[in-house]
Chains A and B, each alone.
Chain A
């Protein structure tokens, strides 16, 4: 037996190990059989540090047994040193310098992955390099098989897993923490291969299936559960950059990427991508996401990962099933808006372009879209659109057409609108006309400016010759007669407030109403605030009262409402005065029913007239009618024409039989007054 002891080696220690072993083998050939041992106290090279090395070569003619023992081995990148390493390579037929054993064993007593007992198939010769196959590497709940090839500085490492538990991988745990993930779990089966040269990685490939994959960040905003699918990744280092491709199939499970949730089980996804990576730029030559009829995306572009921005690129997004896309992806985004419970059918395409790090163009094509809110509050059918927006320069004109729609029970005719949208601005190219109950709604102008505080929208509208009869029929109201028209010269919406510039006028009941100083604040909140002053001139009371079956009153009515404020569409304050028109050309007649209703409104007492002999008269003449109501919160004050005895006339009679309605109580709780109004039942409708 020959023994050689080396106490300390330095950088060239590994070379010493090989040369020493070769020397011993050469010497050993002089005597056959013979066992040679080489002991080295410690070795160190490129960060690899080994202690207590013992190599034993037992030479038997043309074969040899080789054993290697290392007390402690530190390798950069390993969390803990390997201890108690024993490698046995029996029955090697390759002449030294060289080793070849098919039934080698490698045992590690302690290490980052615990105790290991690996089967090793090794073939090494200085000319052909090293080829090592291993099996039974216990790692993350699995037993890995793999191989390691090395020749003249080029190497390849491959490993195959059958049921690797991601949660048990110490290395993935560190990566998980770096990626800000709180959870990473699931099973992984497949093959990974790394190729390199010296210390540099040259290529990587992964072909694997996974199931039960789950991940979540700390905030719970990026998460997945029970994901199953397959992934193929390949990457190849070029001169200065990596070229790579990804093929990912998601077949089961759920993914949430704030704010989007996708139920993969209902809609499997297939993502493929090819491109280049050179820090900090990711160049995507081709990206395709296939979500069946629900969603298809094709994109390319360059992403600046340092700035987390798309430097330039484009994406084409198509959906042949907008209803499914709405239910699966969009609906949760619209919770607590008016669009959170829609029935949608249709298809649409979207094309986006980015230039110089910003979105530069949007094209939208909707071939057909029908939508309806499930509560029936609004809907549109036959919507077609070609919409264009450019950040800079001229944008093509956009067009939108709707065959028809409804707002509650109000039907709207079709519309066709042409407009242009570029930069922060959009404006109508031609007035929009919407047929509306034998008349039309006309929007002569509409402009939109996007500001830092939100949209700033200006518009005007006219409503012409709308049939009250048709409108009231659809609304389920008592049948009205005549036509209405209105004009709103200019309105502006910004920061939740709508302000009407000028007077809004409405022609109705053969008279005219004006709303002045009209503004709506806190739009979109639960309690919008409307403020206005109103004026009524020469309304035909006969048309008005017959419509609402209040009891007929003939004559004309003027009125002023000052300081009207509605909060949450409920009166909060106003000062109103309604009175007979001073230059009235109509007869002044009031029916018994109208007298009763006015009396009840003013006093809260009903049936006053029917208890007297006047109940035999169907109607009466009157001189004037006047009603003043001032409201502030839950307090209201009623007044009329001053009467001699301190009361006030609501109706000042004329002729014989003469009837006066005189109020005495001036102050009343607004809630009581409302209750009186509500108690007045009219044909088919109750005041609410």
Chain B
């Protein structure tokens, strides 16, 4: 942990800081939203393949806090601000990236990519779309030919199995199983953003919109 203290600070501040450092210090690694979004976009574009080509680059996202240092004592907010002010290195220690190179993730990506050609006609026909929970949902089964309907449902079930496994695996591969929900939410947003023209996606209220 790198610490920088400016000479001439009051003694009280030194004492307070010593007290803080002597107490139990917890580094909370917050969900690395920007890294997760970049990872999600890489995977989504890879899976969508040709369909996703020619899309506008994504809008720059407002950066979110990556980490912070908190202490489990009263007045934690004050102390956290003090630490933020005096120990910028502590913040760096809490940063995390998203690794998407594990064998399981690679296999899931390959599986989803292979399935995309089967799903694409149904995305375009409005039969299925990107749901707001990061999965694929049947939007209008009637838009599929009768002989294709069971196939649609089976493909969607298989795709969702892979997507659930992917979100879980990304969280696990990065040592934070508790991130699964955040990763799913990130993917849900990126699927909708990267959806090619004509694809359907669910908005925040669950309503269907077409790109």
- Kindly identify which residue among A216, A332, A633 contacts B150, using a CB–CB cutoff of 8 Å: A332
Q: Could you say which of B86-94, B129-137, B157-165, B192-200 contacts chain A?
A: B157-165
Question: Which residues of chain A from 185 to 244 have any CB-CB distance to chain B below 8 Å in the complex?
Answer: 216, 219-221, 223-225
The secondary-structure label for the interface of chain B is helix
Give 4 A-B pairs besides A219-B141, A220-B144 with Cβ atoms closer than 8 angstroms.
A220-B142, A263-B147, A333-B154, A526-B107
Residues on the A chain within 8 Å of B158, using CB: 335-336
Q: Is the CB of A254 within 8 A of B147?
A: yes
Residues of chain A having any CB pair with chain B under 8 Å: 182, 216, 219-221, 223-225, 254-256, 258-261, 263, 332-336, 522, 525-527, 529, 566-572, 633-634
CA distance A522 to B164 in the complex (A): 13
Number of B interface residues at 8 Å Cβ cutoff, please give it.
Answer: 31
List, in ascending order, chain B residues with CB within 8 A of A256's CB. 146-147, 149-150
Question: Which residues on the A side are within 8 Å of B149 (C-beta)?
Answer: 220-221, 223, 256, 258, 261
Across-interface contacts of B178 in A (CB, < 8 A): none
Residue among B111, B140, B157 with the highest chain A CB neighbour number at 10 A:
B111
Taking a contact as CB atoms under 8 Å apart, the answer to whether A572 and B154 are in contact is no
Shortest distance between the CB of A328 and any CB in chain B (Å):
9
Specify which of A182, A216, A335 lies most central, judged by the most chain B CB atoms within 10 Å of its CB: A335
Contact of B165 among A216, A525, A571 (CB under 8 A): A525
**In the complex, which residues of chain B have a beta carbon less than 8 angstroms from the beta carbon of A221?**
141, 149
Q: Quick check: A259 and B153 within 8 Å, CB to CB?
A: yes
The docked-state distance in angstroms from the alpha carbon of A70 to that of B165 is: 73
B151 within 8 A of A: yes
Cα A261 to Cα B115 with chains together (Å): 22
Stretch at the interface among B23-31, B41-49, B96-104: B96-104
Bound-state Cα–Cα, A259 to B146, Å = 10
- Please indicate which of the listed interface residues B108, B146, B158, B165 has the most CB atoms of chain A within 10 Å of its own CB: B146
Residue numbers in A under 8 Å from B161 (CB-CB): 525-526
Query: Are the CB atoms of A255 and B146 closer together than 8 Å?
Result: yes
**Interchain CA distance A254-B150 in the complex, whole Å:** 14
Contacts of B107 in A (CB 8 A): 526-527, 567-568, 570
What separation, in Å, do the CA atoms of A261 and B154 have in the docked complex? 14
Determine the distance from Cα of A225 to Cα of B145 in the docked complex, in whole angstroms: 10
Note all chain A residues with C-beta closer than 8 A to B162.
Answer: 525-526
With A256-B149, A336-B155: A527-B108 Cβ-Cβ less than 8 Å: yes
Interface assignment of B117: CB less than 8 Å from any CB of chain A: no
Nearest CB on A from B30, distance (A):
23
Determine if A335 and B141 form an interchain contact, defined as CB atoms under 8 angstroms apart.
no
How many angstroms from the CA of A611 to the CA of B72 in the assembled complex?
65
Q: Which among B101, B140, B155 is the interface contact of A220 at CB below 8 angstroms?
A: B140
B106: chain A residues within 8 A (beta carbon):
568, 570
Which single member of A254, A332, A526, A569 contacts B108 (CB below 8 Å)? A526
* Docked-complex contact B155 and A335, CB < 8 angstroms: yes
Closest chain A residue, CB of each to CB of B143: A220
Contact between chains at B146 and A261 (CB < 8 Å): yes
Please, how many angstroms separate the alpha-carbon atoms of A566 and B151 in the complex?
31
Q: Are A527 and B165 in touch, CB under 8 angstroms?
A: yes
Q: Which residues of A contact B143 (CB under 8 A)?
A: 220
Nearest-neighbor residue (CB-CB) of B173 within chain A: A633
Which residues on the B side are within 8 Å of A526 (C-beta)? 104, 107-108, 110-111, 161-162, 165
Q: Which residue of the partner chain, among A258, A261, A522, contacts B147 with CB atoms under 8 Å? A: A261
- Is there an interface contact between A527 and B154, defined as CB atoms closer than 8 Å? no
Q: How far is the CA of A221 from the CA of B107 in the complex (A)?
A: 33
Min C-beta distance of A450 to chain B, whole Å:
22
Nearest-CB residue, chain B, relative to A566? B103
> Is the pair B142, A567 in contact by a Cβ cutoff of 8 Å?
no
Bound complex: CA A645 to CA B68 (Å): 45
Set of chain B residues within 8 Å of A332, measured between Cβ atoms: 147, 150-151, 154
A220 touches B103 (CB 8 A): no
Q: A157 to B101: give the CA distance in the assembly, Å.
A: 76
A254 CA to B107 CA, complexed, in Å: 38
Distance in angstroms between the alpha carbons of A525 and B140 in the assembled complex? 27
Is the pair B147, A527 in contact by a Cβ cutoff of 8 Å? no
B contact residues around A225 at 8 Å (CB): 146
Known: A336-B158, A527-B103, A568-B106. A216 touches B142 (CB 8 A): yes
Q: Give the distance in Å from the alpha carbon of A315 to the alpha carbon of B179 in the complex.
A: 51
**Please, which residues of chain B bring their CB within 8 A of the CB of A259?**
150, 153
By a CB distance below 8 angstroms, the chain A residues around B115 are 336
Most chain-B Cβ atoms within 10 A of its Cβ — which of A216, A259, A260, A527? A527
Q: Which residue of B lies closest to A634 (CB)?
A: B101
Q: A495 to nearest B CB, angstroms?
A: 15
Closest residue of B by beta carbon distance from A261:
B147
- Given A526-B165, A527-B165, A568-B107: A335 and B151 within 8 A (CB)? yes
Q: Which 5 A-B pairs have CB atoms at the shortest separation, nearest pair first?
A: A220-B141, A568-B107, A570-B103, A527-B104, A335-B154
| B119 → chain A closest CB, angstroms | 11
B182 to chain A, nearest CB (A): 21
Bound CA span A349–B153, Å: 29
| Residue contact A633 to B154, C-beta cutoff 8 Å | no
Can you list 10 pairs linking A and B with CB atoms under 8 Å apart?
A: A256-B149, A263-B147, A332-B151, A525-B162, A526-B104, A526-B107, A526-B108, A527-B103, A567-B107, A569-B103
Report which of B99, B103, B157 forms a contact with A567, defined as CB distance below 8 A.
B103
Q: A220 vs B105: C-alpha distance in the bound complex, in angstroms?
A: 34
Once the chains are docked, how many angstroms separate the CA of A263 from the CA of B147?
Answer: 8
Could you tell me the distance in whole angstroms from the C-beta of B168 to the nearest C-beta in chain A?
Answer: 10
